[in-house]
Structure 1
Amino acid sequence: MQVTSVGHAGFHIQTKAGSILCDPWVNPAYFASWFPFPDNTGLDWDELGNCDYLYVSHLHKDHFDPENLSKHVSKDATVLLPDYPVPDLERELRALGFTKFIATDDSVKHRIGPDGIRSAEGALAPDELDIMIVALRAPADGPIGDSGLVVSDGETTVFNMNDARPVEMDVVTESFGHIDIHLLQYSGAIWYPMVYDIPAKTKTNFGKQKRQRGMDRARSYIEQVGATWVVPSAGPPVFLDDALRDLNDDHGDEGNIFPDQIVFLEQMRIHGNTGGLLMIPGSTVDLTGTQLLSLTHPIPDDDVEKIFSDKAAYIEAMAQRMKPVIEAEKATWAPAEGEPLLDPIRAKFEPIMKQSDLMCDGIGYPVGLVLGDETVVLDFPARAVRAPEEGERKFRYGFRIAPELVRTVLRDDEPDWVNTIFLSTRFEAWRIGGYNEYLYTFFKCLTDERIAYADGWFSEAHDDSASIELGGYEMQRRCPHLKADLSKFGVVDGNELTCNLHGWKWDLDSGRCKTSKGHELRTRKL
């Protein structure tokens, strides 16, 4: 098996039974804020796109690149489709011209060949592969879904986890046995804490915690999977616009949440794991089972090292090359000036609010949108969008967003402001109190179908009857947030529990969630 990095979370997997192209992202994402790092524009995308199978893990724009898929990926490719409750991913791919799909079942091992799913009995035929797609279905997972792909050709097994965060890993190893190579995210992909209006020292401290927590979580996954070889991938992006350049980890900022591959490989070595592999776009690893036959890069090894040792210069050169791309992208945005935004936001949001009692009640207070000279209030308790009332100037949660970004997502009828505005980091935010998961989930679910699913998901009762003992406390085994197994992801420090899957915290004496409203933990001191 040959595994070639095509940048960020993207890989080309060549097997004797055909090739699989995974998450081929090359064009800038999130209002031209994110670019793949290192640069992957020099790859032969037509050759990479001449594949037998296509796998797009989810609809985040650093995984789903419609321009690249449309121009360079063969429409004869068979799409390996995750088992999502809302069919947005399939709709988007069909709109690009893809017609062949293998609809997988969540966390079920399938045997596939040129004619689709086959019987899984006996040894693999030369034209067959065993695959599994682990589909995450919580509203917080990507834009209504995220996933990871396992592929075996009978000799070698690869687990491409990209930036998914599976709760159960046993299903992978129980179905496939030993994993030979594990591809996973280790770096940040969020706007917190950079965009928040908080003191610089506080922001640095929060950033340091998030940076380390992300790497700790990745190491936890590595330990659970137990693969022979590990490739840190799915990040970090690089920020090339002058207004965003400070977000790059190239100037000694200890609170930066975007550590690069070299940083994480060193973390692995510090903790006794020497199986890490550095890959850049165009790097290929050739392996049979656990045996690594070769690792080759598209440029000399010294030049690979220089990308990371002199990263600021590399980013500056890349920024100069991409300046026309950024300017062209900005030219497609809606104008900043225009009619007031109150009415179009009301038309977009109020019908969604009226369908989502549980989520509106979970948000629980008005949220302010400061859009240039105009302020719009999302009054979730009243299920209404309105102008500020007289004297209403302060909001518990608020966003300061350039009006051209809001006009653009409204013009384009975007169903997901998280996957457009928020991940761009081109905004400022403030809040009083903890993170409100209901609020950001609402911003992901701006269609009837999405909001109905999310509201129903939150309203379902989850079993928390199983218990574990950890750090001198008895507590429910499943995290109240997204049901991670706390025996694997829970870390106790004194009377505080951290679930390393998403970094949420609880006070173990009271069970109170310290990260967000609600989500109490059943716990007692032993």
Structure 2
Amino acid sequence: MRITFLGHAGFAVETAEALVVMDPWLSPQGAFDSAWMQLPRNHHLAPRVRELLETPGRERFLYISHEHKDHFDPEFLATLTRRDFTVLVPRFKRSALEDCFAKYGCKRVVVCEDSREVPFKGGYLKLFVSEQGTNRDSSLMVRGDGRCFLNLNDCKMHDRLVRVIAEEGPIDVFSAQFSGAIWHPTCYEYPRETYAAIARRKRDSKFEAVARALESVQPRGYIASAGPAAFLDPALFPLNFEDVNIFPRAPDLFAFLAQRLPQAPTRYLEPMPGDVLDAGTLEYVSQVPERVTTENFQDYIHAYAKDLAHVFRERRRNLMREEVDEILGRLRVELQRKLDLLDLHGRVGMPLYVELTEAPTRLLRVDFKRRRVDEVPALRDTVRYTMTVGAADIVRVLDRKLNWEDFLLSFRLRLSRNPDVYEPVLHGFLGVEVEDIREFCDGIRATESQKERTVVEVGGKRFSIQRFCPHQGADLSGGWVEEGRYVVCPRHRWQFDLHRGGVCRTNNATLCAEPLADKPEATRTESDGTATQLPR
């Protein structure tokens, strides 16, 4: 088995009988309206990947893990002329991805449920699907030539890894996201010290999740992938050089792992796009000469930005006042359509203000309680959530050139909230498409309906807690305890304080923790009688 790194989360895995191309993100326009660019740049690999997918002689698969445009690159896929290969996509409740490939004209499309196996001569593929709330993702295992590669990419299935490895056996090469990919705290108005503290906590939490995944999987080799993008838009360019943010690079992760797992036998690998790895020896079959290092990083980014400056010159445009007025009206209609379908509106205890930078005295105020969107001249609530956007950016959503989540990931907005508490319904209201609002609400209710409880022992004390995270339903039996009191969710690393009834440290979610009397002869869950002990 040979694994060619295509950049970001992309791989081409070759066995004696099959080829699997995973998440090729190769377009020179980047992703999320060009806000994200591949780091290191990999556009030169597009002809090579086309040749691999278009050359007959073995079974060929194209796997797309989820809809995010740093994984699903329609622009590159449109350049493939010979499409006699099989496309693998996960089955999500939202069918946008499979609908796209239904029209693509390839040999066949296999829409995979969770744990679906797809055989090929001498091996098989196995796809794992994870869908919770607004998070839709998947991961892929390739087994062939006596070797196994598990590519987790962005998929938040850490609570399942122990079971997967028990069922599937040893993993030679493992890959998982180690860098952030969210608009908090990136787009929020925080004092510099607060921003750095939040970013550091999130970065370290992500690193800890990778470390625990490595402890569960115990691969021979770990490939650092799905790392940070390059932010070349002049408005976003400073993100590349912040002292602390949620976009660390692989050397930062490896330094953490060296301290966290000093005896780990796993070999840590940071390939460049185009490098080819032998999954048996963990040696590179070939390496590209250009390497991005800590020493040359700044020069590399500045040269990269200079080469692509035309992309951002071309996307700038000044709007007439009449255009701004029209966009504001369309945005008000869009928000009202979302609000009309949001049947959990009563849970949101603060209004949302939306301001176009070109119209600062014409704010849209979303009143969740009354289900109204009104135009107001100024902020009038102390407790509030605010979003400021440019009309030329938000119109891309209204014109359906971007979906809402892609827009939020473009980072071309500013947000603030008072109090500074995560509100899941409001968060979903912003990021979910109109047609998916009802499904989003149903998903929250489904998570809340999971009432199974389990027992955890910490510091000699026992607590009964909800087994499933109230955020998005992760199985907390795969979590852990920090500082002798905080139960940590394995998916998003939310911390629940056992000393305060299981309340989350950063919002009002709770595990409804209850202290128990002295330990009886057997510890068991209240529902099915099986022991569930969190790691300590």
Aligned residue for 1:399? 387
Summarize the Cα distance change of 1:54–1:401 in structure 2 as closer, same or farther, 3 Å threshold.
same
Aligned residue for 2:110? 102
Distance 2:444 2:484 in 1: 30
Residue pair 2:141, 2:151 contacting (<8 A) in 1 also: yes
Which residue, out of 118, 123, 130, partners 1:136? 130
Secondary structure of 2:405's partner?
A: coil
Aligned AA for 2:330?
A: P
Which residue, out of 400, 410, 416, partners 1:412? 400
Deviations 1:432-465 (A, max 9, x none): 13111222222332232x2222111111211332
Aligned residue for 1:281? 273
Residue pair 2:177, 2:226 contacting (<8 A) in 1 also: yes
Deviations 1:134-163 (A, max 9, x none): 11111231xxx1010011115111101111
Summarize the Cα distance change of 1:129–1:517 in structure 2 as closer, same or farther, 3 Å threshold.
same
Aligned residue for 2:528? none
Residue pair 1:11, 1:22 contacting (<8 A) in 2 also: yes
Secondary structure of 1:466's partner?
A: strand
Tell me how far 1:192 sits from its aligned partner: 1.7
Aligned residue for 2:314? 328
Asked whether 1:511 is paired with 2:502, we answer: yes
Aligned AA for 1:465?
A: R
Which residue, out of 445, 457, 466, partners 2:454? 466
Aligned AA for 1:237?
A: A
Tell me how far 1:487 sits from its aligned partner: 4.0
Matches within 5 A, 1:47-62: 47-50=51-54, 52-62=60-70
Aligned AA for 1:429?
A: L
Residue pair 2:444, 2:472 contacting (<8 A) in 1 also: no
Secondary structure of 1:130's partner?
A: strand
- TM-score of the superposed pair, with normalisation by structure 2: 0.86
Distance 1:55 1:73 in 2: 17
Q: Which stretch shifts more, 54-63 or 24-33? A: 24-33
Residue pair 1:7, 1:39 contacting (<8 A) in 2 also: yes
Deviations 1:16-59 (A, max 9, x none): 22111111112311221111111101213422443711111000
Aligned AA for 1:185?
A: Q
Secondary structure of 2:152's partner?
A: strand
Which residue, out of 368, 387, 391, partners 1:380? 368
Aligned AA for 2:256?
A: Q
Residue pair 1:505, 1:513 contacting (<8 A) in 2 also: yes
Asked whether 1:175 is paired with 2:167, we answer: yes
Distance 1:456 1:334 in 2: 39
Distance 2:511 2:363 in 1: 34
Q: Which stretch shifts more, 492-501 or 30-39? A: 492-501
Aligned AA for 1:32?
A: S
Which residue, out of 300, 309, 325, partners 1:339? 325
Tell me how far 1:99 sits from its aligned partner: 5.6
Distance 1:229 1:203 in 2: 34
Which residue, out of 198, 207, 211, partners 2:199? 207
- TM-score of the superposed pair, with normalisation by structure 1: 0.88
Distance 2:81 2:466 in 1: 46
Which residue, out of 230, 233, 238, partners 2:230? 238
Distance 2:311 2:100 in 1: 24
Aligned residue for 2:216? 224
Aligned residue for 2:248? 259
Aligned residue for 2:12? 12
Aligned residue for 2:529? none
Residue pair 1:342, 1:386 contacting (<8 A) in 2 also: no
Deviations 1:242-271 (A, max 9, x none): 2212111x46x0x22211112212222222
Asked whether 1:68 is paired with 2:76, we answer: yes
Residue pair 1:479, 1:499 contacting (<8 A) in 2 also: yes
Tell me how far 1:73 sits from its aligned partner: 7.0
Residue pair 2:363, 2:377 contacting (<8 A) in 1 also: no
Tell me how far 1:363 sits from its aligned partner: 2.7
Summarize the Cα distance change of 1:507–1:172 in structure 2 as closer, same or farther, 3 Å threshold.
closer
Tell me how far 1:171 sits from its aligned partner: 3.9
Asked whether 1:298 is paired with 2:284, we answer: no
Residue pair 2:174, 2:221 contacting (<8 A) in 1 also: yes
Secondary structure of 2:488's partner?
A: strand
Aligned residue for 2:513? 522
What runs of 5+ residues in structure 1 fail to find an aligned partner?
114-126
Aligned AA for 1:499?
A: C
Aligned residue for 1:77? 85
Distance 1:393 1:146 in 2: 37
Aligned residue for 2:476? 486
Asked whether 1:371 is paired with 2:356, we answer: yes
Secondary structure of 1:419's partner?
A: helix
Aligned AA for 1:148?
A: S
Distance 1:296 1:80 in 2: 28
What runs of 5+ residues in structure 2 fail to find an aligned partner?
518-536
Deviations 1:107-129 (A, max 9, x none): 24x1424xxxxxxxxxxxxx253
Residue pair 2:134, 2:440 contacting (<8 A) in 1 also: no
Summarize the Cα distance change of 1:99–1:515 in structure 2 as closer, same or farther, 3 Å threshold.
farther
Residue pair 1:107, 1:171 contacting (<8 A) in 2 also: no
Secondary structure of 2:430's partner?
A: helix
Distance 2:52 2:346 in 1: 48
Q: Which stretch shifts more, 83-92 or 46-55? A: 46-55
Aligned residue for 1:268? 257
Q: Which stretch shifts more, 60-69 or 186-195? A: 186-195
Distance 1:168 1:235 in 2: 22
What fraction of aligned residue pairs are identical, expressed as a percent? 28
Q: Which stretch shifts more, 91-100 or 146-155? A: 91-100
Summarize the Cα distance change of 1:361–1:48 in structure 2 as closer, same or farther, 3 Å threshold.
farther
CA RMSD after TM alignment: 2.4
Distance 1:384 1:75 in 2: 48
Which residue, out of 117, 140, 149, partners 2:140? 149
Distance 1:352 1:325 in 2: 32
